[in-house]
Structure 1
């Protein structure tokens, strides 16, 4: 199973009480294609970083979260607000108002780190680069961008505007602009992989079922995190993202229902995100 790190497996198996059973960790990791050595090295790194403590050794060990939110920011579960917006789009509850939102900034080389952070925030929110320092999106992300610029002490460097009249290199038709500015075939391909995995029946047995759940979570994140969540009006129809998200929601419900108690907190977190 590609795209799954050992660190991701550890965090995926954290129980509600913050513990990870060593035996289960080694079993699930092996089913995903990882060696015992990979697991040992990962556990050692997580303990060194202060994210986990460990009692015992090897398969008899028990890992415990060392703080309230270790692993925060791990690409295992996309932001709940982001996921809910996607499903609202799928239900036709977020129609596009026809506005393009543009953001431009000019930050000197002396503030390069802040400039890079602002750029990463824009692309992380789904905005596409048009040319140096200019980004555009059909989604109203202005409040998030302005807040991030303020945190970086760059509010004066940011320019925001909205328009219905956007042309890039002679392209002005909205769907043609979307095809030009975002890698839609690549995004669709990731959703195709997610749909194929979601439609597979979960294998029997707790370790195999957990390995399948980890793979599903990884595929969901791999498809969702790079997705700019363009409005349906700008996407080819039928859009693979809509189909894949529906299949993932159904698959996750089946997995959660079949998971023996106590199950990893991953099931609760995904249940909340997909609610």
Structure 2
């Protein structure tokens, strides 16, 4: 291991954060635009992420058995082919990400309206009830009390579409308000602090910030003497970890309007640094001649938004 701070590809300083990347997500992350995964590249990147060859082999075997991939060849010379696009595991919804960056740039100010949803679905339809609740939580709504949820974002059309699909639209009540009160709390930022776990959300963004800064330091350093192949594998490992850390921070975030958040909010800083990282990674040519679907999403979405902000 090179001494901490030495600029070589595929390594990191002793105290740099290490995002946890499940092996299955690594396979998904290395799917190229033609739907293939090069096993040699997979094993090389996995090694840099601390995964054993046996761990990779077992994961590939499970993915093939599950019908998610087919495999031509064996070992490092094999080629995996995705049966369906699996990139979603490391790719948040593009519209969701764009909205986050629009908020950061001040292009989506809050109109002061709270959006409330209430439903009462009997135990005999528990699956439908749970699915509707999960939809609301996924969209960033917070529970006020049993069957009543609130969000500051205008997601009514999305909720209605899901409720209609579930056959639960008749059980759902829609309401908007500009004077939400919980007990004696009426100030919007104070309400947000009670309704959403802002400290936990901020902590995930602080971790993303630390890792993004580390990536920028490595990307600014000389490439070292590992050769082009070692540099490429190291950059891919970095890209996969960055994508995993970004998703870990973004997925639980309700994307509350900045008016409801403590300032400065670490999410905005973390997203800015992440976009800077992807711009640097794109300039290294890490995505290879065929390109990775992962890079298409993160490089295009984050890079373009950063350039236009």
Report the TM-score range of the alignment, normalised by the length of the smaller protein. Answer: over 0.9
The question of 1:138 aligning with 2:155 is answered no
How high is the TM-score relative to the length of structure 2? 0.85
Show the counterpart of 1:265.
293
* CA-CA distance at 1:109 after TM superposition: 0.8
Residues 202 and 255, structure 1, Cα contact 8 Å, conserved in 2: no
* CA-CA distance at 1:73 after TM superposition: 4.0
Show the counterpart of 1:65.
82
* CA-CA distance at 1:52 after TM superposition: 0.9
| 1:72 to 1:270, Cα distance in 2 relative to 1, 3 A | closer
Aligned match for 2:209, one of 163, 188, 195: 195
Show the counterpart of 2:264.
238
Show the counterpart of 2:103.
89
Q: How does 1:145-224 map to 2 (within 5 A)?
A: 145-200=159-214, 201-202=217-218, 204=223, 205-224=231-250
Give deviations 1:99-152, integer Å, cap 9, x for gaps: 111111101111111111100100100000111111001100100001100000
Aligned-partner Cα distance in 1 for 2:160–2:80: 40
Residues 209 and 259, structure 1, Cα contact 8 Å, conserved in 2: no
Q: How does 1:24-43 map to 2 (within 5 A)?
A: 24-43=41-60
Question: Could you list the runs of 5+ residues in structure 2 that have no partner in the other structure?
Answer: 1-17, 224-230, 305-309
The structure 1 segments of at least 4 consecutive aligned residues displaced by more than 3 Å after TM superposition are none
Aligned-partner Cα distance in 1 for 2:128–2:167: 8
* CA-CA distance at 1:2 after TM superposition: 3.8
The question of 1:250 aligning with 2:276 is answered yes
Residues 28 and 87, structure 2, Cα contact 8 Å, conserved in 1: no
| 1:196 to 1:26, Cα distance in 2 relative to 1, 3 A | same
Between 1:251-260 and 1:214-223, the stretch displaced more is: 251-260
Question: Could you list the runs of 5+ residues in structure 1 that have no partner in the other structure?
Answer: none
Aligned-partner Cα distance in 2 for 1:143–1:273: 24
Q: CA RMSD in A?
A: 1.3
